Amino acid sequence: MSTRRGPGTAGAHRPPRRPMLRSTSPARVHARVARWKRDGLTVAFVPTMGALHEGHLSLVRRARASADRVVASIFVNPLQFGPREDFACYPRPARRDRALLAAAGVDLLWEPLARDVYPAGHRTRVRVVGLGDVLEGASRPGHFEGVTTVVLILLEVVAPDVLWLGQKDAQQALLVERMVGDLRLPVKVRRGPIVRAPDGLALSSRNAYLAPAERAQAVALSRGLAAARAALAAGERSAARVTRAVRAVWRRYALVREDYVAVVDAATLEPLKDLGAARRVLVAVAARVGPARLIDNFEWRSR
């Protein structure tokens, strides 16, 4: 008889902390997780690209509470970077990241090699039609094919019970949820809330690109969203006026260059006009501040 515990007790009886295991081998990671599952243990997975911050670590803590074992990965995925994006200079503080994950209670860290994720001749891409072509997908062509392809590969190796993603990348989380549902993958996708600095800026690995003056201007994203939220709370139901509330704030920040301000259905990403008829609204923004391209969002429920 299986000794697997239900979701209400997962993670409640963890053994004393042991040193974090590390591997680059997909086969060894898969074998370790399979052994845990044979022992009746549940497994949560937190994929990352490294350059960790408190947002990542909050997902690890949620993963620990949701399962008996936690696997994390660090892989800077070349497939999701465009030809003029920051793949080459993306921060890779490997030693620091390992220490943070070990301290947060990760049981197994997988640091795959690019040749193992994408062997020679690899041609398959995973595309979520429609959801991946707007917002971030429109600004970064091919980005989401890279995301969904790598997530599917990672899930095939780790085979977790629970996958934890962050709300800051709301569109990415939605695409992965849709992919998991459409392909009937046996994993539950959970989202952790956005973690912010004291001044409201959403934590992001790319914040490290900001010079002090640029960092001071980057709060425009969260302050613009706060104005949109206040408008909704006051009864505003026009998407155009909610959008204007964000831009009115941004005009006070000279270094902020808008990519998009979008008010969409949170489940379909379809643009909205009258927000009174929508159950879930996503207000999402993207802008460049100095060398960094930053995103932020919030979800609002009409009832």
pLDDT in tens, 214-262: 999 999 999 999 999 999 999 999 999 999 999 999 999 999 999 999 9
User: What pTM does this model have?
Assistant: 0.92
Is 56 annotated in the active site? Answer: yes
Percentages helix, strand, coil for the chain (3-state, rounded to 5) are 40, 20, 40
Q: Is 273 exposed, middle or buried (0-12, 13-18, 19+ CB in 10 A)?
A: exposed
| E strand or H helix that includes residue 148 | helix 143-158
Return d(Cα 281, Cα 300) in angstroms, integer: 5
* Nearest residue to 272 (alpha-carbon basis) of 294, 242, 234, 246: 242
The active-site residue, picked from 13, 53, 56, 122, is 56
Q: For domain 21-192, which CATH number applies: 3.40.50.300, 1.10.3720.10, 3.50.50.100, 3.40.50.620?
A: 3.40.50.620
* Nearest residue to 71 (alpha-carbon basis) of 145, 137, 164: 164
**Domain boundary assignment for the chain:** 21-192, 205-301
**Strands 21-23 and 108-110, bridge-based pairing:** parallel
Return d(Cα 41, Cα 185) in angstroms, integer: 19
Six token digits for residue 289 = 């501040």
For residue 71, report the phi and psi dihedrals to the nearest 5 degrees: -110, 135
Q: Measuring CA to CA, how many Å separate 195 from each of 23, 61, 206, 250?
A: 28, 13, 14, 21
* Nearest residue to 248 (alpha-carbon basis) of 281, 215, 226, 270: 226
Same topology between domain 21-192 and domain 205-301: no
pLDDT by residue for the chain (303 residues), tens only, comes to: 333 444 445 555 555 668 999 999 999 999 999 999 999 999 999 999 999 999 999 999 999 999 999 999 999 999 999 988 999 999 999 999 999 999 999 999 999 999 999 999 999 999 999 999 999 999 999 999 999 999 999 999 999 999 999 999 999 999 999 999 999 999 999 999 999 999 999 999 999 999 999 999 999 999 999 999 999 999 999 999 999 999 999 999 999 999 999 999 999 999 999 998 878 999 999 999 999 999 999 999 876
Tokens 């936690």 found at: 70
CATH assignment of 205-301? 3.30.1300.10
Return d(Cα 203, Cα 189) in angstroms, integer: 21
Contact indicator for 165, 191 with CB cutoff of 8 Å: yes
By three-state DSSP, how is residue 118 classified? coil
Mean pLDDT of the chain: 94
Contact indicator for 259, 288 with CB cutoff of 8 Å: yes
